[in-house]
Amino acid sequence: MERRGWDAVDIVFVSGDAYVDHPSFGLALLGRLFESHGYRVGIVAQPRWDRIDDFLTFGVPRICCMISSGNIDSMVSHYTANNKVRNDDPYSPGGQGGLRPDRALITYSNRAKQAFGKQTPLIIGGLEASLRRLAHYDFWSDRVRRSIILDTRADLLVYGMGELQSIEILFRLAKQEPINTLLDIPGTTINISSKDFDQYIQQRSNYNFVTLPTYEQVAERDKQSNIPTAKGQKAYAEAFQLQLRNENPFNKTILAQASGDRIVLVNPPMRPLTQTEFDTIQELPYQRTWHPTYEAKGGIPALAEVQYSITSNRGCFGSCSFCAITSHQGRIITNRSIASLKREAKKITTLSNFKGNIHDVGGPTANFQDVACQQQKTAGPCQNRMCLYPEPCPNLQDSHPAYIERLEAIATVPNVKRVFIRSGIRYDYLLATGSEKSRQRFMEHLVNHHVSGQLRVAPEHINPEALAAMGKPKVAWYEQFLDNFYETTKRSGKEQYCIPYFIAGHPGTTLEAAVDLALYLQKTHFVPEQVQEFYPTPGTIATCMYFSGLDPRIGHDFAPVHIPKGRERRLQRALLHYNNPENKKLVLEALKITKRTNLIPILLGSKRNKLPQRTKNDTSPS
Ligand code: SF4
């Protein structure tokens, strides 16, 4: 501040992540964006939360205090899927755990209120705020919690990616508009007194209001047993479905949920960025490294994953049940221009340790390089069906030629030797769109130029019911993709592999289904390196299933869903690593329960330790 001649900052921006000046880190992205609009931004990264001193590093801000718990929810950052404490944190110096509090948004908001007083507007955002904007199931307390805007007592909650709505908030606050009058900004959540609700509706007569079941209804518990009531669980699933139906920036729909004497109001989502806006934001003057104060502690591990990667697209129309990206980024894809991608690649080539390889050009899903269909540009995504589930929509358009064009353009940048794809490929989208020629052309490009030995794909399961609950494609799509990949690989004379990811314990997965998966792994000679376990994180369809036991998706009529919990969850996890001698007892138990002891010789006999890795001569999975 002294060097810049500032007597005060406009915004104090508090975050649970360490500061990495790179566009993959929300703190840097927004900080640089605000700076580019002329605001003075003071970043308070990972403050001590038992005192207010760190919050006051820059004094009281002139406009507002903004708070994010970081790139991921603070509870996910602290605890594993089995609720065990994690010792590490890739978003902290040296990967050290424990540098942010549990429920960081609430704690930071309390300290900020103490530090700056009530007169300083308090705005929360980031993934934790976004996915907890309405009443939500919280795995760690095994309770439904009310909207986090009430628990933090924040004035405004920004949900989604946040750039456009944050700029509008700052602009209006800078014009001296009181924070309690900023009721109409898309992509925000506010709360008002229930006494003022009728007047509020009258003021916004050009909007539709959808009233969700109240917090008290969705959180209802039996007074004697203290377990959630079936009525409450159904109300929760209904509220969730109403959210799903209204995630469209083109609909003027406001969601309203009463919670005690307050009404939480979720404004419609903010529109997606234009390509020019996206290019501009990605090309702000990031240093693409961590703050120098972290150097002595070994830096920030999370940077390694993205330092030489380029974000080319945003949004996801995959709608996998276990993923919250659709709820956060929306289903409408925004992509960047080729010129902008090339400029970013050029910048990466100047980094000191750059070895010539761009590690990734992608986004939430690598090959979603453009909107799913033209309708999304003018009316948003369909509210009554998903783009890829249960089958790919016939209106899907092929964005693979555009992807190849982008990859080829980046490869022409001087000093770039190879351009890889590390973001996941959605193979059903590849196989269902465009001509045979276009598909083969993409596959050849992929295999010949963009795989660094291993290509990650995410079938997640092979059992039809489990896949249906996950919203993932049928296994036949996966097998067709594998055949195609290995045939093309063989022709190219390369040695490279597809590495599939599978989830254990996802809602809708029975123990029988888990045995099927173990058998499939045995037959295809594949040994997963890591077992991914289902994690009921806030805001996902699967978490709604986990809590309610019902399928909230449109067209599923709140059908009951099997939820693996407790011992069954452990057995399902063990089945994924059935060949690990430590799991022998658990696998045996699972085979007995499912009456499939005929599989003992196959899964636990002498064959289990003779599992060769796939060789380049293998051209099919079975
Ligand atoms: S028409 Fe098909 S591709 Fe387009 S939004 Fe609807 S479901 Fe998705």
Position 530 scores a pLDDT of 75
Position 319 scores a pLDDT of 87
> Which ligand 1 atom is at minimum distance from the Cα of 386?
7
- Over its C-alpha atoms, the chain yields an Rg (Å, rounded) of 25
Q: Which helix (H) or strand (E) holds 603?
A: helix 600-603
Helix%, strand%, coil% for the chain, nearest 5 = 40, 15, 45
Residue of 316, 376, 388 to mutate, ligand 1, most atoms within 8 A of C-beta: 376
pLDDT > 70: percent of the chain = 97
Residue of 375, 426, 553, 554 to mutate, ligand 1, most atoms within 8 A of C-beta: 375
Burial class (CB in 10 A: 0-12, 13-18, 19+), 590: buried
Structural domain boundaries of the chain? 11-266, 308-452, 453-459+473-622
Distance CA 515, CA 383 (A): 35
292-339 per-position pLDDT tens digit: 999 999 999 999 989 999 999 999 999 899 999 988 899 999 999 999
DSSP 79: B
Position 618 scores a pLDDT of 38
Burial class (CB in 10 A: 0-12, 13-18, 19+), 494: middle
> Which ligand 1 atom is at minimum distance from the Cα of 394?
2
333-385 per-position pLDDT tens digit: 999 999 999 999 999 999 988 999 999 999 999 999 999 999 999 999 998 89
CA 336 to centroid of ligand 1, rounded, Å: 22
CA 268 to centroid of ligand 1, rounded, Å: 20
pLDDT category of residue 389 using cuts at 50, 70 and 90: very high
pLDDT of residue 75 exceeding 90, the answer is: yes
pLDDT of residue 622 exceeding 80, the answer is: no
CA 385 to centroid of ligand 1, rounded, Å: 7
Residue of 333, 377, 396 to mutate, ligand 1, most atoms within 8 A of C-beta: 396
Position 475 scores a pLDDT of 94
Residue 592: both structure tokens together: 């007995």
48-73 in b/e form (b: 16+ CB < 10 A) is: ebeebebbbebeebbbbbbbbbbbbb
546-581 per-position pLDDT tens digit: 999 999 999 999 999 999 999 999 999 999 999 889
DSSP assignment of 300-368, as one string? -THHHHHTTEEE-EE------TT--HHHHH-SS-EE--HHHHHHHHHHHHTSTT--SEE-EEESSSTT-
Instruction: Please choose, from the candidates 17, 7, 10, the residue with its C-alpha nearest in 3D space to the C-alpha of residue 41.
Output: 10
DSSP 607: G
Position 456 scores a pLDDT of 86
pLDDT category of residue 528 using cuts at 50, 70 and 90: confident
pLDDT of residue 617 exceeding 50, the answer is: no
Distance CA 242, CA 255 (A): 8
127-142 per-position pLDDT tens digit: 999 999 999 999 999 9
Distances (CA, A) of 310 to 282, 422, 487: 9, 11, 29
422-469 per-position pLDDT tens digit: 998 999 999 999 999 999 999 999 999 999 888 989 999 999 999 999
Ligand 1 site residues, Cβ closer than 6 angstroms: 317, 372-373, 375-376, 381-382, 385, 387, 393, 395-396
pLDDT category of residue 513 using cuts at 50, 70 and 90: very high
pLDDT category of residue 525 using cuts at 50, 70 and 90: confident
Cβ atoms within 10 Å, residue 479:
17
Distances (CA, A) of 342 to 243, 313, 351, 410, 451: 38, 14, 15, 5, 20
Residue 102: both structure tokens together: 């549990």
Position 612 scores a pLDDT of 42
**Identity at 178, one-letter amino acid code:** P
Q: Whole-number mean pLDDT of the chain? A: 94
Instruction: Please choose, from the candidates 241, 246, 216, the residue with its C-alpha nearest in 3D space to the C-alpha of residue 229.
Output: 216
> Which ligand 1 atom is at minimum distance from the Cα of 396?
3
pLDDT category of residue 621 using cuts at 50, 70 and 90: very low
Distance CA 400, CA 492 (A): 20
Closest Cα to atom 4 of ligand 1 = 373
Position 606 scores a pLDDT of 65
pLDDT of residue 614 exceeding 60, the answer is: no
Residue of 317, 399, 554 to mutate, ligand 1, most atoms within 8 A of C-beta: 317
Look up the CATH architecture of domain 308-452.
Answer: 2-Layer Sandwich (3.30)
pLDDT category of residue 607 using cuts at 50, 70 and 90: low
pLDDT category of residue 247 using cuts at 50, 70 and 90: confident
> Which ligand 1 atom is at minimum distance from the Cα of 381?
5
Instruction: Specify the fold of 11-266.
Output: Rossmann fold (3.40.50)
